[in-house]
Structure 1
Amino acid sequence: MRRRAVPGLALALAALLARPAAAETGDLVATDALRVCADPANLPFSNERGEGFENRIAALLAQALDRRLDYVFFPQVQGFVRNTLRAGRCDLVMGTVAGDELLQNTNPYYHTTYVIAFRRDHPVPERLDDPAMRALRLGAIARTPPTDLLLRNRLIGNTRFFPLAVDTRHEAPGAELLRAVAAGELDAALVWGPIAGYQITVQGLPLAMRALPTEPGVARMDYRITMGVRAEETEWRRRINAAIREHQAEIDGILRDYGVPLLDAEGRLQAP
């Protein structure tokens, strides 16, 4: 039985190798649906109930492409891209950082930043190098870019760190950090802007925020956010780019609904 199977296998391999690489990759993209890879419990970005801003942007793209919207949900932990996009189960990852080596990036569809968030009735100094900052109780997510600023300004000792790598179905460290500021347990939080904006605008926390500066010699604080497709799918990337370009104003409106801090072309924080 095993020997009989070998000729069939050899023919199948020969046929596979004879196909053009581009055609092979193109066949992975569904033609009847926009198949999106997403986290099932990661607000404000996405969840299974479609309540995140990435859910709404995905629905907008599906309509623009005249396709139904399908999701493949998988927690955004190590192996997310390998088990979703690169496994051929879906065709688009929302909210990736430009330059991600695991996939091909579309053009950016928003530009945002890390922020410092604080209670409106208890503002903090404008600069992290202000000596008064060392008397404050700060919070941050471990191993995120603001850690570099905390180290540079000798603020690690008065900072409480929340975990970065969590199962989002059970933990939301960014939201917990901001609630601690709102409750007066901490004076300020250095956190990803879209998370802070959502907690302020949608959840109603009595906080204000300022963009953190990108300083020479430390990790950058602002990032251009893209979508991700498989590496060889140039035509699919072109179609997504066209849809982003044609519907950028609507995308911006969705982001503002969720309080996402948006930077202009010069990197300045836009008015809400």
Structure 2
Amino acid sequence: MLRRWPLLVAFLIGCAGAPAVADLPERLEREVLRVCADGNNLPFSNEAGEGFENRIAELMAEDLGVPLDYVWSPQVMGFVRNTLELRVCDVMIGAVAGYGFVQNTNEVYRSVYALVVPEDSELEASRLTDPALQGRRIGVVTETPPLVPLRRTGAIIQSYPLMVDTRVRAPVRDAIEDVVAGRTEAAVLWGPLAGYYAARATPPLRVIPLVDDDSGARLDYRISMGIRQGEPHWKDWINDFIDRRQDEIHAILAEYGVPLLDRRGQPLSGPDGGGS
């Protein structure tokens, strides 16, 4: 199947405006938590329940006191239309804040693109304009925000496709493997992907969140949950859940190596912040 990275999907198709939603009454009683998810999209979710969005969904179901059920659909264009809008499921665990096709809840977490380097690398750049990146061979997924600033800095770009058949290609894994093998000196990847795959490399790689970037590219994003428009009671419940269980949510994300930012855009530190 062809897939674009989840963060980018929101901005590639979200600008078209939200579709009309049938004016049906909001469901006030929930016998099951029905989650819209991609069944082959680690570290976010998969059908085996191994992603961090699976873990957060389990926490929600436990809090609601109801069973958890999934509606699986590839997270490509049409995902919301084929899931939330058909009312076959009731929540997306991860949606970029401001995504026009859904009603966003409060922020679940905030993350940022990161530089991934070998553990013994002297590269310490936390901004794409750092002169230390000039002339370095750096992997980056095409059409993602870091690409243009890296070119301007003078990095030698090793590009990986944004749109792939995930049955045969895994661009982020390819980027990580190239760093391990020394074919590139670093990679710049979306934080949750960077942290997850870097920790599973052999040997593990170091992740440097680009929190000091001054290139003008948008590198950090707030991630909310996505629900249908016109469901204020459901939104209120989820917002309350996020507030009450935020520490547990952050602890789950930290287990997956997600670089987490606070409200000022600086790394969270401590056992549930993903900081070092």
Q: Which amino acid aligns with 1:81?
A: V
Q: Which amino acid aligns with 1:116?
A: L
Q: Which blocks of at least 5 consecutive residues in structure 2 are unaligned? A: 1-20, 269-274
- Shift of the 168–61 alpha-carbon distance from structure 1 to 2, 3 Å rule, reads farther
Question: For the residues of structure 2 that align with 1:231 and 1:214, how far apart are their CA atoms?
Answer: 35
> How far apart are 1:86 and its partner, in Å?
1.1
Question: SS of 2:258's equivalent?
Answer: coil
Q: Which amino acid aligns with 1:231?
A: Q
Q: Which moved more, 1:97-106 or 1:176-185?
A: 176-185
Mapped contact 2:129–2:215 kept (Cα < 8 A): no
| CA displacement, residues 167-217 of structure 1 (integer Å, 9 cap, x when unaligned) | 445432112211211121111101011111112335554211212246567
Q: Which blocks of at least 5 consecutive residues in structure 1 are unaligned? A: 1-20
> How far apart are 1:39 and its partner, in Å?
0.8
Mapped contact 2:116–2:198 kept (Cα < 8 A): no
> How far apart are 1:22 and its partner, in Å?
9.3
| CA displacement, residues 143-189 of structure 1 (integer Å, 9 cap, x when unaligned) | 1111232243243xx10111112344543211221121112111110
Mapped contact 1:140–1:177 kept (Cα < 8 A): yes
- How many percent identity over aligned positions? 46
- Shift of the 130–249 alpha-carbon distance from structure 1 to 2, 3 Å rule, reads closer
Matches within 5 A, 1:52-71: 52-71=51-70
Question: For the residues of structure 2 that align with 1:211 and 1:217, how far apart are their CA atoms?
Answer: 14
The total of aligned residue pairs comes to 249
> How far apart are 1:50 and its partner, in Å?
0.1
Question: For the residues of structure 1 that align with 2:99 and 2:190, how far apart are their CA atoms?
Answer: 18
- Shift of the 160–266 alpha-carbon distance from structure 1 to 2, 3 Å rule, reads same
| CA displacement, residues 102-131 of structure 1 (integer Å, 9 cap, x when unaligned) | 000010011110001111122325254444
**1:265 equivalent in structure 2:** 263
> How far apart are 1:253 and its partner, in Å?
0.8
Mapped contact 1:142–1:163 kept (Cα < 8 A): yes
**2:148 equivalent in structure 1:** 148
Question: For the residues of structure 2 that align with 1:203 and 1:60, how far apart are their CA atoms?
Answer: 28
Q: Aligned match of 1:163 in 158, 161, 164? A: 161
Question: For the residues of structure 1 that align with 2:240 and 2:209, how far apart are their CA atoms?
Answer: 30
- Shift of the 43–203 alpha-carbon distance from structure 1 to 2, 3 Å rule, reads farther
Matches within 5 A, 1:32-111: 32-111=31-110
Matches within 5 A, 1:1-272: 24-27=24-27, 31-124=30-123, 126=125, 128-155=128-155, 158-202=156-200, 205-213=203-211, 215=213, 218-270=216-268, 271-272=275-276
- Shift of the 60–67 alpha-carbon distance from structure 1 to 2, 3 Å rule, reads same
**Structure with the bigger percentage of helix:** 1
